[in-house]
Structure 1
Amino acid sequence: MPHEIAIYGVLVPSLLPVFILCLLLMVLLDMLVGRLGLYRQVWHPSLFRLALFVCLFGVAGLLLIH
């Protein structure tokens, strides 16, 4: 796994693009869950959002390693 990625001559950490993609995916999932009304079934929606993002980012980060 490379430690840095060169984007237009700027070195960024390799997890930064993964973080941004997971953030965009999280926004889409948040809109979908909100429209389906699933947040009514969750005890604390903010914690659910955080846990979902951590799971997405963790899986994406582990996939980047292999």
Structure 2
Amino acid sequence: MPRDIAILEAYVPTLLLLFIAGGMITWVLDRLLAMTGLYRVVWHPSLFRASLLVCICSVLGLVAFH
């Protein structure tokens, strides 16, 4: 996979695009988890959301650069 992607003649790092995709995936999962009521049993919801974003972005990065 290329390290940079050209978008409108500007080079954008691949990790930035993966981070944006991970943020959107995290947002969708967050809405689903909120609807199911999982946050009632989570000790710190903000920390859970942040760790979910880190895990998803890490998995996307590993898949993209493997």
| Unaligned ranges ≥5, structure 1 | none
Aligned residues: 66
Q: TM-score, normalised by structure 1?
A: 0.94
In 1, Cα distance between equivalents of 2:48 and 2:34: 12
After TM superposition, give the deviation of residue 8 of structure 1 in Å. 1.5
Q: Give the distance between the partners of 1:60 and 1:49, measured in 2 at CA.
A: 17
Matches of 2:57 and 2:13 in 1, distance apart? 14
Report whether the alignment pairs 1:14 with 2:14.
yes
Unaligned runs of 5+ in 2: none
Matched, 1:36 2:36: yes
